[in-house]
């Protein structure tokens, strides 16, 4: 048995971007990557899903006509059915292989909160279920290991792709000591939850930088650009090549893509909670905030980083405790440090958001659901940055585990992830917006008190929250003598959301106050979320 990695791209889209010489170089780089994987015991199968000659050996119809995410997803599903890959990797940015645009669960009312009309996501590619835009259960909880190796949208320079393919070809796992130095940076406004993230990673909270005072031009920040483990809990904005810190109404730049030049070390792993942190955009787009400057994530990858986990749009973080994006990023980095591949760490982090919620007796709210959708892994999902503390499987006489045995252990992990994804999807609650809701006075009063934690300048409309009725079925452990009907019980709750927005500089800020009650009005859960 071999481990299998399925690599997909769209040839017509590549040929529209690059000249014949560049295509030849890309083809050669992919061939070297495939050969290097073979030496590692991974069989990498690279196909252009719109090329009949590539698809014919697998008896899968090629994608024809306009390239859409739905068509590519169907092709990947058909290929995966026959190959059962351990990893799936997409080659190219959104103008080569499109991301899906799915409904935003936290879309605000009348522009007073989250204004993302859709969530760009790779989740449907990472889900084995057929895609149905009307059913979020078909794409919300992934069960496949997947990553994307991006080029640069709108650019005819192949180096953005070639440089990273060279990294993916030559990578080797490093000792845990190689990741002992870190860059852990957080907005001063969120330093309490930032420290909680750092402590979750078993790092010294005293080493975390806050911005301000540690901004882009500070010597300490510039020195720590060379750290191989990086967590960035700051602000980002659409089509912006800068990340920002915050204290009050001050938003100093904490990082610029141009300041990363020649500072990133090979094998760096980055987890970003920033809004739009993994938004790969064309630097020459008229909407670019700093024309000509490439995205931060692209610069990391071009300089030799192993991978970058980030959000494609507005993300949610906790003010005083870890919430939403904090858990995704911190769990990803912790798994990487424990020896997981980039892809497995990403999958487990996303599944764990749903699993942890269910284990605590909570129901996912809309912010949790957006978090599950918006994070994408940029990089080869099969890369294992850190050597595991013990062999993948027990071996006799201290000899290295044979590749077939390693592949079998990996296959078992994938099967477990698939089963967990199915279980989490089956337990997903149904949501229905309540029109003209009657808000109990004690719930509104609690919302007013919670809003004080949001900070100054946020004007909540407490008389008109968004309210959703959330219903789910819980399968109970069944006693031997109990009737079959007792195995399932229903749960009904209400989730109230108040959102407010302020525009005070380079980063539009949003706060969400959410309260969840049971059908009788008893408060079950409260949250105050900040956009990052």
Are 345 and 445 found together in one domain? no
Domain boundary among 401, 421, 443: 401
How far is the C-alpha of 366 from the C-alpha of 85, rounded, in Å?
31
Domain boundary among 360, 381, 401: 401
pLDDT for 368: 95
Tokens standing for residue 243: 């990340």
The pairs formed by 393-397 with CB atoms below 8 angstroms and a separation of 24 or more are: none
Residue 302 structural domain: 172-401
How far is the C-alpha of 386 from the C-alpha of 489, rounded, in Å?
44
Tell me: the pLDDT tens digits for 486-499?
566 778 899 999 99
Are 316 and 442 found together in one domain? no
Q: What is the mean pLDDT of residues 431-453?
A: 92
Range in 250-264, 398-412, 503-517 with the lowest mean pLDDT: 398-412
Q: What angle do CA 508, 357, 432 make, to 5 degrees?
A: 70
Q: Give how far the C-alpha of residue 209 lies from the chain's centroid of Cα atoms, to the nearest Å.
A: 23
Q: Which helix (H) or strand (E) is 244 found in, with range? A: strand 242-244
300 is a domain residue: yes
Domain boundary among 401, 417, 449: 401
Under the phi-then-psi rule, with left for phi > 0, alpha for psi from -120 to 50, and beta for the rest, what region is 59? left
Q: Which helix (H) or strand (E) is 330 found in, with range? A: helix 325-337
Residues in the chain: 532
pLDDT for 391: 41
Task: Phi first, then psi: give them for residue 426, nearest 5 degrees.
Answer: -65, -30
Burial class (CB within 10 angstroms; exposed 0-12, middle 13-18, buried 19+) of 444: middle
Measure the CA dihedral 121/148/375/356, to 10°.
110
Q: Which of 514, 98, 502 is nearest to 318 (CA)?
A: 514
pLDDT for 477: 62
Beta bridge mates, 184 = 231
Tokens standing for residue 100: 């899906």
Tokens standing for residue 3: 């481990």
pLDDT for 396: 47
274 is a domain residue: yes
CB count, 10 Å around CB of 159?
14
Are 179 and 291 found together in one domain? yes
Burial class (CB within 10 angstroms; exposed 0-12, middle 13-18, buried 19+) of 437: middle
β-strands 3-9, 42-48: how paired? parallel
Matching residue, tokens 């995410």 = 69
In the predicted model, is pLDDT for residue 232 greater than 50? Answer: yes
275 is a domain residue: yes
Tell me: the pLDDT tens digits for 384-400?
999 975 444 444 445 45
Are 394 and 512 found together in one domain? no
Q: What angle do CA 322, 427, 477 make, to 5 degrees?
A: 105
pLDDT for 158: 98
Query: 147, 360 in Cβ contact below 8 A?
Result: no
How far is the C-alpha of 381 from the C-alpha of 168, rounded, in Å?
10
Are 381 and 437 found together in one domain? no
In the predicted model, is pLDDT for residue 175 greater than 60? Answer: yes
Q: What is the mean pLDDT of residues 442-463?
A: 93
Tell me: the pLDDT tens digits for 301-317?
999 999 999 999 999 99
SS3 content of the chain, % helix, strand, coil (to 5): 35, 25, 40
141 is a domain residue: no
Q: Using alpha carbons only, how large is the chain's radius of gyration in Å?
A: 23
Tell me which of 400 and 366 has the higher pLDDT: 366
Are 231 and 334 found together in one domain? yes
Under the phi-then-psi rule, with left for phi > 0, alpha for psi from -120 to 50, and beta for the rest, what region is 398? left
Tokens standing for residue 90: 């997409």
Are 209 and 357 found together in one domain? yes
Are 440 and 389 found together in one domain? no
- State the pLDDT confidence band at 139, using cuts at 50, 70 and 90: very high
Are 341 and 227 found together in one domain? yes
Tell me the C-alpha to C-alpha distance, in Å, between residue 406 and each of 143, 344, 397, 413, 518.
20, 15, 16, 11, 47
How far is the C-alpha of 528 from the C-alpha of 509, rounded, in Å?
13
306 is a domain residue: yes
How far is the C-alpha of 349 from the C-alpha of 332, rounded, in Å?
5
Are 367 and 485 found together in one domain? no
Are 437 and 387 found together in one domain? no
Counting the structural domains of the chain, the total is 2
2 is a domain residue: no
Tell me: cis bond preceding 213? Omega within 30 of 0 counts. yes
160 is a domain residue: no
Sign of the CA dihedral running 105, 110, 112, 116: positive
Coil, helix or strand for 223? helix
Q: What is the CATH number of the domain that holds 290?
A: 3.40.50.1460
178 is a domain residue: yes
Q: Give how far the C-alpha of residue 145 lies from the chain's centroid of Cα atoms, to the nearest Å.
A: 12
Tell me: cis bond preceding 212? Omega within 30 of 0 counts. yes
CB count, 10 Å around CB of 464?
14
Of all residues in the chain, what percent carry a pLDDT higher than 70? 95
Kindly state the DSSP code that residue 459 receives in the 8-state scheme.
-
Sign of the CA dihedral running 49, 51, 52, 55: negative
How far is the C-alpha of 493 from the C-alpha of 395, rounded, in Å?
51
Are 356 and 443 found together in one domain? no
How far is the C-alpha of 149 from the C-alpha of 71, rounded, in Å?
19
pTM as predicted:
0.94
């Amino acid at each position: 048995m071999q481990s299998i990695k399925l690599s997909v791209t769209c040839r017509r889209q590549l040929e529209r971007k690059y000249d014949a010489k560049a295509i030849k170089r890309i083809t050669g780089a992919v061939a070297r990557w495939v050969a290097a994987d073979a030496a590692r015991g991974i069989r990498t199968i690279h196909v252009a899903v719109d090329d009949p000659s590539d698809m014919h050996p697998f008896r899968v119809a090629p994608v024809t006509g306009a390239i859409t995410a739905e068509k590519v997803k169907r092709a990947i599903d058909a290929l995966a059915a026959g190959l059962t890959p351990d990893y799936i990797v997409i080659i190219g940015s959104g103008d080569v292989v499109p991301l899906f645009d799915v409904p935003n669960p936290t879309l605000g009312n009348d522009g007073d909160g989250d204004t993302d009309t859709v969530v760009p996501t790779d989740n449907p590619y990472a889900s084995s279920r057929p895609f149905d835009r009307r059913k979020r259960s078909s794409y919300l909880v992934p069960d496949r290991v997947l990553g994307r190796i991006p080029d640069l949208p709108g650019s005819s320079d192949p180096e953005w792709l070639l440089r990273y393919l060279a990294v993916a070809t030559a990578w080797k796992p490093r000792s845990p000591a190689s990741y002992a130095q870190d860059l852990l940076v957080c907005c001063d406004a969120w330093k309490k939850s930032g420290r909680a993230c750092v402590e979750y990673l078993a790092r010294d909270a005293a080493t975390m930088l806050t911005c301000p005072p540690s901004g882009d031009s500070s010597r300490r920040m510039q020195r720590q650009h060379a750290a191989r483990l990086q967590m960035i809990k700051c602000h980002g904005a659409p089509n912006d090549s800068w990340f920002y810190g915050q204290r009050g109404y001050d938003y100093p730049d904490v990082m610029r893509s141009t300041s990363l030049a020649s500072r990133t070390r090979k094998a760096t792993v980055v987890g970003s909670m920033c809004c739009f942190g993994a938004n790969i955009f064309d630097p020459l787009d008229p909407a670019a905030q700093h024309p000509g400057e490439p995205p931060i994530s692209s610069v990391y990858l071009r300089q030799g980083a192993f991978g970058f986990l980030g959000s494609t749009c507005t993300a949610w973080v906790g003010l005083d405790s870890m919430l939403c994006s904090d858990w995704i990023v911190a769990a990803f980095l912790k798994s990487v440090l424990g020896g997981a591949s980039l892809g497995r760490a990403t999958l487990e982090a996303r599944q764990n958001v749903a699993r942890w919620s269910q284990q605590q007796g909570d129901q996912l709210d809309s912010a949790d659901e957006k978090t599950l959708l918006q994070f994408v892994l940029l990089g080869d999902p099969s890369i294992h940055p850190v050597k595991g503390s013990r062999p993948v499987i027990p071996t006799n006489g201290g000899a290295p585990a044979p590749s077939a045995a390693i592949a079998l252990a990996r296959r078992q992990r994938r099967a477990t992830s698939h089963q967990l994804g199915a279980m989490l999807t089956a337990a997903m609650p149904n949501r229905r917006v309540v029109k003209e809701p009657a808000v109990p006075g004690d719930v509104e009063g609690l919302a007013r008190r919670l809003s004080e934690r949001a900070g100054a300048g946020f004007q909540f409309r407490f008389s008109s929250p968004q309210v959703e009725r959330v219903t789910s079925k819980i399968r109970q452990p069944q006693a031997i003598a109990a009737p079959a009907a007792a195995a399932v019980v229903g749960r009904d709750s209400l989730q109230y959301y108040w959102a407010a927005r302020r525009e005070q500089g380079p980063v539009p800020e949003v706060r969400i106050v959410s309260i969840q009650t049971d059908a009788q009005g008893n408060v079950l859960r409260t949250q105050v979320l900040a956009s990052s």
